[in-house]
Amino acid sequence: MQEFEYVAPTSLEDAVKLMAEKGPKAKALAGGTDILIQLRGGRYQIDRLVDVKNIPELNQFSCSQSDGLTIGASVQNYKIYESSEVQRLYPAMVDCASLVGGIQVQGRATVGGNLCNAAPSGDTIPTLIAESAQALIAGPNGQRTVPVEEFCTGPGRNQLADGELLVSVNLPPVKPNYGAAFLRFIPRNEMDIAVANCGASVQLDESRQKIVSAKIAIGSVGPTVIYCIEASNSLAGADANEASIEAAAAAAQKAASPINDMRGTVEQRIHLVGVLTKRVLRIAISRAKGE
């Protein structure tokens, strides 16, 4: 691996300063399950690696009915899926965090790293979009917040300017009659990169028969994870039934722009978007109904 300076600041202020000093020649290190392999492969030439795991703000992890879910950018996936509160309130986060890599990877990998790495296949990103998460960013000019669907700008590219760090992702509190879910298709049972994946959320009305609003996001079928606005909007005011689900899945298929590669063909991926969107919506609706 190339040579670089390793620093492990213990305050956010210091971390931002250390990042900013080196501009594009500095990279953050969270779990390292993407960045260390990329450095070894010579994808970037950097001068400084800033370990962000000792920064208190990035280790925040709290989940409650009233305040929602805050996942600091250094919080490992296992903490998410082992939390009984997350299991109860945000099962879609458990769906995705528990299938990133194997147990070893889950001991290190973070949602923050998954988002910043901005892979089209990033498995936690569709859920974050579906759950209306906001990304809290800190940089030399202070802090700002970006909706997760705007965070990734291309394969491996994100919104962060030089010197900026992701602090946390924040999911709003869940309301009654709300549900979300995530599914991924891979050719084996575990440990592979998504051929396609899908996260969705639905807010039902009090009768639980009608959908008030929905959010659908699909991955591995475009340059970034795609927030399917038309498919999502098609569900607003619709009956929570199979006809609405079918229509939304067809709209999600239209939003996909996949490529052929060794993992799957364009046709297969578009087919998968349809299947996954339907299945995910069914699970989200049944969770919203408290079933």
Partner 1 sequence: MADKIHVQSNINGYDVDFLCESRQSLLEVLRDVLNLTGSKEGCNDGNCGACTVTMDGRIVESCCILGVEAEGKEIITIEGVASADSLHPVQQAFLEEAALQCGICTPGFIVSAKNLLEREPDADEERIRFWLAGNLCRCTGYDKIVRAVLKAGEVMRKG
> Does the footprint of ligand FAD cover residue 127 (CB under 6 A)?
no
Sign of the torsion angle spanned by Cα atoms 85, 126, 183, 154: negative
Determine, following the binding rule CB under 6 A, whether residue 32 of this chain makes contact with ligand FAD.
yes
Residue 63 backbone class (left: φ over 0; alpha: ψ -120 to 50; beta: rest): beta
Write the binding mask 45 to 84 for ligand FAD: x where contact by CB under 6 A, - elsewhere. -------x-----x--------------x-----------
For partner 1 (CB under 8 A), the number of binding residues is: 29
Query: Which amino acid, one-letter code, is at 116?
Result: C
What minimum distance in Å lies between the beta carbon of 4 and partner 1?
6
Cα separation, 174 vs 150, whole angstroms:
21
Cβ contacts of 242 within 8 Å, gap of 6 or more: none
Of 121, 105, 123, residue with least CA distance to 262: 121
Which of 160, 174, 180, 240 contacts ligand FAD by CB under 6 A? 160
Q: What is the CA radius of gyration of the chain?
A: 19
Token output for 244 = 């609405």
φ/ψ of 142, rounded to 5, equals 105, -160
Stretch that binds ligand FAD, among 86-94, 104-112, 142-150, 268-276 (CB under 6 A): 104-112
Nearer to partner 1, 122 or 258 (CB): 122
Q: How far apart are CA 96 and CA 197, in angstroms?
A: 10
| 190 is a site residue for partner 1 (CB under 8 A) | yes
Which of partner 1, ligand FAD, none does residue 169 bind (CB under 5 to 8 Å by kind)?
A: none
Query: What is the nearest approach in angstroms of partner 1 to the Cβ of residue 188?
Result: 9
Binding of residue 61 to partner 1 (CB under 8 A) = no
| Tokens linked to 249 | 């899945």
Q: Which is nearer to ligand FAD, 28 or 285 (CB)?
A: 28
Residues 6 or more apart in contact with residue 59 via CB below 8 angstroms: 53, 72, 74, 75
- Contacted by 116, from ligand FAD, partner 1, none: CB < 5 to 8 Å by type: ligand FAD
Q: Judge contact between 214 and 228, C-beta under 8 A.
A: no
Interface with ligand FAD by CB under 6 A: which range of 31-39, 78-86, 263-271, 283-291?
Answer: 31-39
Our finding on whether 224 is near ligand FAD (CB under 6 A) is no
**Shortest distance (Å) from residue 29 CB to partner 1:** 8
Residue the block writes with tokens 């790293």: 113
The stretch among 16-24, 97-105, 162-170, 281-289 that binds partner 1 (CB under 8 A) is 97-105
- Can residue 103 be called a binding residue for partner 1 (CB under 8 A)? yes
Cβ burial, residue 146 (10 Å; 0-12/13-18/19+): middle
Residues that bind ligand FAD (CB under 6 A): 27-35, 37, 52, 58, 73, 99-101, 105, 108-110, 112-114, 116-117, 121-123, 160, 165-166
